[in-house]
Structure 1
């Protein structure tokens, strides 16, 4: 018997127990480099409204958790039918226990646990490390969904170099917060932001009957009402008011919304989340974006104006009616394809039972925004 087989017998895989949470959060920080707390865990797993248990499998050695295979429960709309689905997420194995088949064993246990019941299928966008393991356990590659990036401020990328100035002896170094290099940088950044705002405004049509409202907290009922006006046939997350309330309760992120009204009636919306250096277009409504292109472009310009100080803005999937028009470039084409691995945007799906068959679907039969991803 090989050493690998002997060591593999030391491990067991079981369902998550409440005492595993601290080990999960500790390993998460070690593996992913981000700290998450109990509130985040409760939101994502314990209080997820689409599952009645914590959907995590745990690999154990001598009673100690050393790996986790987690799932993000969602309600998916397939034509006129709503089905539950799990999106694998936050999968991790302790560095000392990798290469011993734990990913595969947790996958096998998950398939065994969830086949012929709820959920109806798995789908996800695995990274290059987990993609081969998914394919080996029955996932099928559907196609690649682009992410779009709009560079906002190329000067910021050069800011540190500009502010450094000529090299000086360290004993002569003094703080230079208000030095001439900083002033030049600020002036160039302001000029670029002003130019982009003016250019963006030229791309939208004037509509005096359209009112744009800003919400610091996305209005769940209003978003759900806009969604119901034009529900796409393509496969996507079912958007109800309850879903929006729960989804935007994520304690790690904050969200804002722009709503367009005509004659007092909401007809389109855009949701954005911002970090220190970036902004993300999280969702746009209606999800059939081609039904309100001019209105969505108007909302986009409003959002871009408010995040002009961010280095870049990101969108994902079928979110913007005319991304290239507003200088959003896909990571599936040159030049971004040379810098960003599109494998991380490759959709995989796996059927669970015979109820539906999504493994043979095409990428054209799905539609995504960042709201459909577990990481938003």
Structure 2
């Protein structure tokens, strides 16, 4: 037996145990560069209403965890029926133990454990590192879903040229004096761009609309579920119940400002947003049949964009906006962004786990996604 074979056989793959949580969180920080809390872990895995266990497999050597293959459980609506699906997520192997086949071994164990039971299928948008391993384990490529980006402020490029660099504080490293010409130019240009955006956006919606727009710091789960039920799409998507919304937006790592449009007092559309220091992200849009309430969704979008005017860009994923180009959202799958941005984690893969349904032969047109359908927002 070769040395590499002997080394490989020292590894084992097992189910998650409570004592693994701290190592999981530590490795998450090492691999992904994000510090996640025990509250986040509890929300994502232990309090998930669609799994009766923590759906994580652990690769270990001599009893010490060195790799994890986790799954994000959710209900999916398919042809009017509801099925449980697992979305692989947070897959990681310690840098010292890569290249030993651990990803493949955890995949094999997952397929063995979950075939012919719950869940009905796997689906995910793997990155370029894990995509080959998924394909070799039976996942099938369905198609690519675009992400849309709206550049909001090109001033950062100018700042680099005139000696005012971004920082993690107030956004500027004052290499030029606050009262100097460089700062004056960038501030004036930034204000002009923001004003232009706002004026242009407002021209795209009807000012005399009978719609009333409401703002919520916390998403109103029952209202969102009501809007969803008004027009449920036939394409495959996450089943949006009030229970789902309450759990999904309880993620302690993010906040989700929500905009609701009402007509004659009835909620007819909603937009959910999250944001970071530099960007804002459209998380969900309702109704999921986007074209059924375009005026209302456009009104909500303008309200959200107005509140996010200080962000460098705004992102939307999949079927979220009725007319993305109209509001200067450009897909990363077409020019001009396709020449500048290489889409990552945009290709949908699926794998059947039984004979109940066959999603491996589906087309991308059979699915409809917003950012909410992904394992993280």
Residue 272 of structure 1 aligns to a residue whose secondary structure is strand
Q: Is the 8 A contact 2:176 2:183 kept in 1?
A: no
Q: Is the 8 A contact 2:164 2:183 kept in 1?
A: no
Q: Is the 8 A contact 1:162 1:185 kept in 2?
A: no
In structure 2, the partner of 1:126 is 126
Give structure 1 stretches of 5+ with no counterpart. 166-172
Q: Is the 8 A contact 1:144 1:342 kept in 2?
A: no
Residue 345 of structure 2 aligns to a residue whose secondary structure is helix
- Superposed displacement of residue 69, structure 1: 0.3
TM-score normalised to structure 1 length: 0.96
- Superposed displacement of residue 174, structure 1: 7.6
Residue 59 of structure 1 aligns to a residue whose secondary structure is strand
Distance 1:52 1:45 in 2: 10
In structure 1, the partner of 2:97 is 97
In structure 2, the partner of 1:139 is 139
- Superposition map of 1:161-240 within 5 A: 161-164=161-164, 176-240=177-241
In structure 1, the partner of 2:3 is 3
In structure 1, the partner of 2:168 is none
CA pair 163-175 structure 1, distance change in 2 beyond 3 A: closer
Q: Greater CA deviation, 208-217 or 364-373?
A: 208-217
Distance 1:178 1:56 in 2: 55
- Superposed displacement of residue 175, structure 1: 7.0
In structure 2, the partner of 1:354 is 355
Q: Is the 8 A contact 1:79 1:232 kept in 2?
A: no
Q: Is the 8 A contact 2:194 2:309 kept in 1?
A: yes
Q: Greater CA deviation, 333-342 or 7-16?
A: 333-342
| Per-residue deviation, residues 205-237 of structure 1 (Å, max 9, x unmatched) | 234311011111111110000000000000000
| Per-residue deviation, residues 133-180 of structure 1 (Å, max 9, x unmatched) | 000000000000000000000013432442449xxxxxxx98723433
- Superposed displacement of residue 2, structure 1: 3.3
- Superposed displacement of residue 100, structure 1: 0.7
Q: Is the 8 A contact 1:144 1:343 kept in 2?
A: no
Residue 342 of structure 1 aligns to a residue whose secondary structure is coil
Distance 2:48 2:280 in 1: 26
- Superposed displacement of residue 280, structure 1: 0.3
In structure 2, the partner of 1:79 is 79
Q: Which runs of 4+ in 1 moved over 6 A?
A: none
- Superposed displacement of residue 343, structure 1: 4.4
- Superposition map of 1:214-293 within 5 A: 214-293=215-294
Residue 49 of structure 1 aligns to a residue whose secondary structure is coil
In structure 1, the partner of 2:323 is 322
In structure 2, the partner of 1:307 is 308
- Superposition map of 1:151-166 within 5 A: 151-164=151-164
- Superposition map of 1:35-46 within 5 A: 35-46=35-46
Distance 2:136 2:95 in 1: 22
Residue 57 of structure 1 aligns to a residue whose secondary structure is strand
Residue 283 of structure 1 aligns to a residue whose secondary structure is strand
Distance 1:164 1:247 in 2: 40
CA pair 221-115 structure 1, distance change in 2 beyond 3 A: same
In structure 2, the partner of 1:21 is 21
Q: Is the 8 A contact 1:48 1:73 kept in 2?
A: yes
Give structure 2 stretches of 5+ with no counterpart. 166-173
Distance 1:363 1:101 in 2: 30
Distance 2:175 2:95 in 1: 43
Distance 2:330 2:209 in 1: 30
Distance 1:87 1:338 in 2: 30
Distance 1:41 1:162 in 2: 44
CA pair 107-260 structure 1, distance change in 2 beyond 3 A: same
CA pair 161-261 structure 1, distance change in 2 beyond 3 A: same
Q: Is the 8 A contact 1:87 1:122 kept in 2?
A: yes
Distance 2:341 2:117 in 1: 37
Residue 99 of structure 1 aligns to a residue whose secondary structure is coil
In structure 2, the partner of 1:339 is 340
